[in-house]
Amino acid sequence: MADFQGFLNLNKPQEWTSHDCVARVRRMLHLKRVGHAGTLDPAATGVLPIALGRATRLLQFLSSEKAYRGVIRFGITTATDDLEGETLQVRSASHLQLEHIAALLPEFIGKIEQKPPYYSAIHVGGKRLYERARRGEVVEVPTRTVEVFGLDVLSWRSGEFPEVELAIACGPGTYIRSIARDLGERLNTGGTLAGLVRLQSSGFSLANSLTIEELEDLVKREKFKPLDPSVALTHLQAIALGSEDAKRWCHGQRVPVAGNVDAVLRVDDQSGQFLGIGRIIQEQDTMVLAPQVVMLDS
């Protein structure tokens, strides 16, 4: 059996949950340890980073920035803030012009307060919000601070229920469905997310992703090779250890280094082979590199 340790850049199919994708990959590769970064709604498609084997321990260190292409439809509001949910209100928005929307977009850029959709995976009172919503519970959804780096108009379609397509760059925890809902509220027309593709996530891009069908074909032909774990960690500062320090570090020992306390580093050996993740801590008057995740067998 192949030893799969690394990452898979999966193009998530529509109507699949992120959990569905993990389960399918687990069965396909006959691998127990499989995890994903950045949940995607079932209606959305695009980049879903999947960690295989020991690389699941690296998920917490991945970059949190994401980029999307989303379509917002005006004149419609739904229970889920996308087209998957029950329609709550329908009204013509034929009077809307692109300049009305463009004038409001700056309000949604920067650090903003956002209320997640009522049907979302966040925990409220120890339970996922969508579970409580499906049981008909009325729960106050807490707002939270998220960061949107950019909102750019890609296309515009006028009509009774006009649509705008946006390129969205954002930080972790940002709900594009909430942007659609809140933009519709500001325009007094209502709005819902009509389509969403994640273009980038955790250092992976859609252009280099694999569909489920492509992955199945590669596995069947025994041609599938996971991406090296280091490709998802280029945002971290790297440190190269000499042979003796590398050996000690891989055995769980701390080695002296120069740097700032609490810095998280990508650790390589002198040949450039990825060893794992370390954190600089202070021991008495000395800075040392403590192992956080060791990828090589000791």
At 2 the pLDDT is 67
Return the amino acid letter for 247.
Answer: K
41 carries an active-site annotation: yes
Annotate 192-235 with DSSP letters as a single string: EEEEEEEEEETTEEGGG-B-HHHHHHHHHTT---PBPGGGG-TT
> What does the longest C-alpha to C-alpha distance in the chain come to?
71
Contacts of 67 (CB under 8 A, 6+ apart): 167, 168, 169, 170, 198, 199, 200, 201
Q: What is the pLDDT of residues 175-233, one digit of tens each?
A: 999 999 999 999 999 999 999 999 999 999 999 999 999 999 999 999 999 999 888 99
Contact 210, 28 (CB under 8 A): no
Separation of first and last alpha carbons in the chain:
22
Q: What is the pLDDT of residue 207?
A: 96
Q: Which residues, other chains included, contact 76 with Cβ-Cβ below 8 Å and sequence gap of 6+?
A: 87, 89, 90, 161, 190, 191, 192
- Sequential pLDDT tens for the chain (298 residues): 467 899 999 999 999 999 999 999 999 999 999 999 988 988 999 999 999 999 999 999 999 999 999 999 999 999 999 999 899 999 999 999 999 999 999 999 999 999 988 766 665 665 666 665 566 666 677 889 999 999 999 999 999 999 999 999 999 999 999 999 999 999 999 999 999 999 999 999 999 999 999 999 999 999 999 999 888 999 999 999 999 999 999 999 999 998 888 999 999 999 999 999 999 999 988 999 999 999 976 4
Q: Which residue has tokens 């192949």?
A: 2
Active-site residue, selected from the candidate residues 41, 82, 182, 245: 41
- Per-residue DSSP letters for 28-59? HHT-S-EEESS---TT-EEEEEEEEGGGGGGG
pLDDT of residue 141: 75
- Count CA within 13 A, CB hemisphere, residue 102: 8
Say how many residues make up the chain: 298
pLDDT of the residue at 125? 60
Write down the pLDDT at residue 298.
Answer: 47
User: What pTM value is reported for the model?
Assistant: 0.90
Whole-number pLDDT of residue 260: 87
**CB neighbour list of residue 207: distance below 8 Å, 6 or more residues apart:** none
Q: CA torsion angle for 272, 278, 281, 285 (degrees, to 10)?
A: -30
Q: Which of 72, 98, 37, 65 is nearest to 196 (CA)?
A: 72
Q: What percent of the chain has pLDDT over 70?
A: 91
Q: What is the pLDDT of residue 296?
A: 76
